[in-house]
Amino acid sequence: MESQSYFRPDVLEGRVALITGGGSGIGFEVAKQLALHGCKGVLLMGRRKAFLEEAVELLAKQNISAACFAGDVRSAADCDGAVQKALESYGALDILVNAAAGNFLAAAEEISSNGFKAVMEIDTLGTFNMCRAAFSALKESAFGGVVTSITATLHYTATWYQTAPAAAKAAIDAMTRNLALEWGEFGIRCNCVAPGPIADTPGLEKLSGGKADQISWDHIPVRRAGTKAEIASACIYLSLNRYITGQILPVDGGEWFGKKPMMPREMVSKISRGVEKQSRSMGAKL
């Protein structure tokens, strides 16, 4: 299931975007949709050069101008290099999407310090490195600079076996508000999009143990997984609305507050009718 676009195809006309983790999954779809809605160029950043080059070729088949930069967001120098490549390729940088992430299922008592550190560095430090590297270019954007970080809803309550990513995403949310506060005077807006389970992504396959097709979505109010295009559309929206900053937009079908009912709807109706009947009877006696 893919979403029909809510926007005109030229709403982002003339803009340039840099997407970390842009070679696959949500990052790739965001890059594609930004370009299909008017961006004159997208720069994909990731660690695997061959993988990125393949992604650029796929975009080229849709007449999308894309370039790539192989680098690690944990390296400040690599982040600087990615921004420089965007400027050299397209002359500007208007939109930064932080989609690079590290995640794995692990019981908290079994996570090594290095494992925890790796997730924090890829997600939180990587997001900060990219934001700082992009600051000067975003400040010069003719459209107003935009930072959108892809986070999660893991930390809104708590999530089993996700201690490291929950901590990392919570930190990004907090950091985003601070960046929005400090950088607003420079015309830069900073927000987050928090996806729920998204179909056809490496993340969902990894976290489901390769059994994503067997998952029941009964705990989600809309009763399905989301699509990559739905996450991309949220990024487009946040790129356009110039009065939204420092916000976290969950795009999860209500998953984070979804709860299985304690009893069937039919039973609830029967009980409530009985209570109502009893209440009327008591009222008549009074």
Condensed to tens digits (0 to 9), the pLDDT of residues 134-166 reads: 999 999 999 999 999 999 999 999 999 999 999
CB 45 within 8 A of CB 86: no
Superfamily of domain covering 16-285: NAD(P)-binding Rossmann-like Domain (3.40.50.720)
The pLDDT value recorded for residue 277 is 66
Per-residue pLDDT, averaged over 26-37, amounts to 98
- For residues 252-262, b (16+ Cβ closer than 10 Å) or e, as one string? bbebbebeeee
Is 133 a residue whose pLDDT tops 90? yes
More reliable by pLDDT, 200 or 113: 113
**Residue 274 clears pLDDT 80, i.e. is over it:** no
Task: Tell me the average pLDDT of the chain.
Answer: 92
- pLDDT by residue (tens digit) across 56-92? 999 999 999 999 999 999 999 999 999 999 999 999 9
Mean pLDDT of 34-48: 97
| pLDDT tier, 280 (very low <50, low <70, confident <90, very high otherwise) | low
At 261 the pLDDT is: 77
Average pLDDT over residues 241-259: 96
- pLDDT computed for residue 281 by the predictor: 63
Domain boundaries, the chain: 16-285
Region of poorest pLDDT, from 43-52, 56-65, 70-79, 253-262: 253-262
What value does the mean pLDDT take over residues 90-119?
96
pLDDT at residue number 244: 98
Half-sphere exposure of 258 (CA within 13 A, CB side): 21
Query: What letter represents residue 184's amino acid?
Result: G
How far apart are the C-alpha atoms of 257 and 254, rounded to whole Å? 6
Rg (CA), the chain: 22
206, pLDDT greater than 80: no
Other C-beta atoms closer than 10 Å to the C-beta of 56 total 19
When pLDDT is averaged across residues 177-184 and rounded to a whole number, the result is 98
